[in-house]
Amino acid sequence: MENVHLVEDEDDIYSGYNDYNATFDSEELDNDEGFQQAVRTSHGRRPPVRSLQSNYSQYDIMARIPLASSLGRPVTGAIQVRETLTFFLCNLCLSFIHHDTDLPQPSFSGTTFDPLGQSKGPAPPLEARNDDTPEEKIKILEKRVNELIAESCIAHSQGSLQLALEKAKEAGRKERALVRQREQSGNADHINPDLTYAVLFNLANQYANNDMYPEALNTYQVIVKNKMFTNAGRLKVNMANIYFKQKNYPKAIKFYRMALDQISNAHKETRIKILQNIGVVFVRMGQYSDAVTSFEHIMSESPNVRTGFNLILCYYATGDRDRMKKAFQKLIAVPLGIGEEDKYIPTNDDTHANLVTEAIKNDKLHQMERERKSLAEKFIMTSAKLIAPAIESSFAAGFDWCVDMVKSSQYVELANDLEINKAITYLRQKDFKQAVESLKMFEKKDSRVKSAAATNLSFLYFLEKDYEQADRYADLAMSADRYNPAALINKGNTCFVRQDYDKAEEFYREALRNDSSCTEALYNLGLTYKRLNRLEEALDGFLKLHAILRNSSQVMFQLAHLYELLDDPQQAMDWLMQLISVTPTDPQVLAKLGGLHDLEGDKPQALQYYSESFRHFPSNMAVIEWLGAYYIETQFCEKAIQYFERAMLIQPTQVKWQLMVASCYRRSGNYQQALETYKDIHRKFPENIECLRFLVRLCTDMGMKEVQEYATKMKKVEKMKEIREQGNSSRGDRLSTKLKSLPGSNEPYESSGQRDLDASYVDPLGPQTERPKTAAKKRGDESDFADEELGDDLLPE
């Protein structure tokens, strides 16, 4: 035990474990100068084997052999030999290093010191993959099938439905070829059923997207009938959807129920959606009692606003008042599952919290919450407007009940909007008195509701042409909410009718600053520029509006009119052609287009458009007159007769149309009919000199005895006409003498003369095509107030 050394507590038994000798680092040999020098010179050559006694004697070797171990333990024979050989070989290597300069080259191969194997050259290249083997062909084909499925899905997402279908078909062909190759190579057990399912499912979807319903149903049947595919029965929902699109409702019900039977109760949400589809199909079939059963079950298990709205519709169709009320109460009690809006209001004291609030204010979650709330409000508002006349004896009482229910629910803010909709409903029923009374109740409400009510009142008074009241309520709406674009538009309209176009322009511009998408303000601003003769600015405004409202006939008409005012008839005709593509039966547009072609000298095109205009509206006197004159000019008097006869029916007291009919008979050579027509005109208008003159001429040419009678009457009428003209001339001289005694032109009397009175009477709105649009606040299907256009009577003809 004296030779046993015990480890003391303070010694580290792991010392030296992580020590590292850089000599053994082969990765840094490229940077070792000594090693590289040895490789390049004779230092790297190996000497030939010599006798051990040539350098060291036995005495020298044995003298270096240790006699005892480091532990003081005697060295055994095996250990002694091993250590002796090790010591001997180390000294031998050292002798090589110190004395190899005089040694001859080795005479045997492989003696060069090359630890990195650099003398062997670069490694041989990898063997090329053989694509001709069956395994490689199968792998390549399977990869191509997956790529085609992905390409088909991407094409569908981009709207290229036909391309998506072609890719799906090609994937199906490749997959069948893949199955055949596996069977031929004896690997039928390795067929991938998931890949087959994906190919068939994608193909069926693409067939359905391209409205190829029979092909889609056949593909779905292949999947459903294949026992290899688990849970394929759920695809019967897709098949039922296709039957629904084909309006094959009994089959849709059958497949929905089959799918419902194959879905366990663990998938509650899926079952609820299928039940909702079943209820909708029953509604389409008119089986409201069966639909009620489905919707009632959903409302008891997992209520949602859409199902609640559908339930109200079913009860409304069956006329059940009590259940309508209960269903409305269920609808407003449906939890939305959204947070409070207060969390999106930043606080002033916590900077970090404000940054977080700003970040989440308009994120996807908040947008989803707003959409869900907006949808719920839409269904509640629509339901209230629908059932209000049915649940009580009067519309007002039913609406009041709905308002009371809403006030006691989570949608308290909708109560005022329902009241405004009540007034709007009165307005649509032409009950302006009740509408005004309902809106005046909001004058003492909060600013938002007051602004909406005042905007509607301004709109109503503007319709009744009470512009003073319209202006007063427009000011009230602006004072309650200066950023209300509808109130600014109504204020601008009152300035427009007073011909204060500069003020109107200011209000329209302010409305656009508050809401850049307000099309009414942009349209009225263009009309204002027209009145101010700033045609280029008006053109720019209407071109911007056309970019927003691509199919607006009003905007196209205004653009055509502006180009006509700018002496560009070709552009005007181009815009009218676009307008005809939107409203092909508008007689005014067709007549306008005919008139422009007539000015350009294109009579055949003018005839075509005037004829179309007459066909759609045969009472336009300007069109009738042009068509009659055209056929007289082209020597087709018989065709002109029908147009002048139409004018006779429209204006029976105008003698010129009857004279034109008689003239057409005379020009066409039908003198007898012309004579009869002139006689009929003479009976109706005995003092018409032109009629008597033609009667005298016709009777003379035809040698009739009545010529003297008509000649005598003509002389009497001419004499009476001369007497009337002399009397009018003498009265005019007396009037001139009297006017000379009136005050001069520089005196105050002239300011009230007839000339100024006539000039002061101008239609305040001018042509009907330039009547400004008005805006009224209403509460409809949207959650925010929207602008309501005035009506068709103020739109361009």
- Provide the pLDDT for residue 231: 76
pLDDT tens readout for residues 508-556 = 999 999 988 899 999 999 999 999 999 999 999 999 999 999 889 999 9
- Which pLDDT band holds residue 447 (cuts at 50, 70, 90)? low
- Provide the pLDDT for residue 7: 46
- Provide the pLDDT for residue 482: 84
CA–CA distances in Å: residue 469 to residues 120, 396, 476, 586: 106, 26, 11, 36
pLDDT tens readout for residues 150-161 = 999 999 999 999
Q: What is the CA radius of gyration of the chain?
A: 51
DSSP 781: S
Which residues are CB-neighbours of 36 under 8 A, at least 6 positions away?
A: 29, 30
Average pLDDT over residues 720-745: 58
Least confident of 120-124, 139-143, 151-155, 323-327: 120-124
- CA 658 to chain CA mean position, Å: 57
- Provide the pLDDT for residue 20: 56
- Provide the pLDDT for residue 493: 94
Helix (H) or strand (E) holding 786: strand 786-788
pLDDT at 205 over 60: yes
| Cβ 600 vs Cβ 594: under 8 Å | no
Average pLDDT over residues 664-673: 89
pLDDT at 699 over 50: yes
- Tokens (6 digits) for 303: 């209520």
Query: 229 or 528: which carries more pLDDT confidence?
Result: 528
| Cβ 629 vs Cβ 617: under 8 Å | no
Residue with tokens 């002048």: 644
Distance of alpha carbon 427 from alpha carbon 415, whole angstroms: 19
Helix (H) or strand (E) holding 234: none
Distance of alpha carbon 572 from alpha carbon 560, whole angstroms: 4
| Cβ 299 vs Cβ 329: under 8 Å | no
Q: With left for phi above 0 and alpha for psi between -120 and 50, is residue 319 left, alpha or beta?
A: left
| DSSP H helical ranges for 210-304 | 213-225, 236-245, 249-261, 268-285, 288-301
Average pLDDT over residues 257-273: 89
pLDDT tens readout for residues 56-67 = 433 333 334 343
Residue with tokens 């003081």: 72
- Of 650, 573, 583, which is closest to residue 613 (Cα–Cα)? 583
- Provide the pLDDT for residue 783: 32
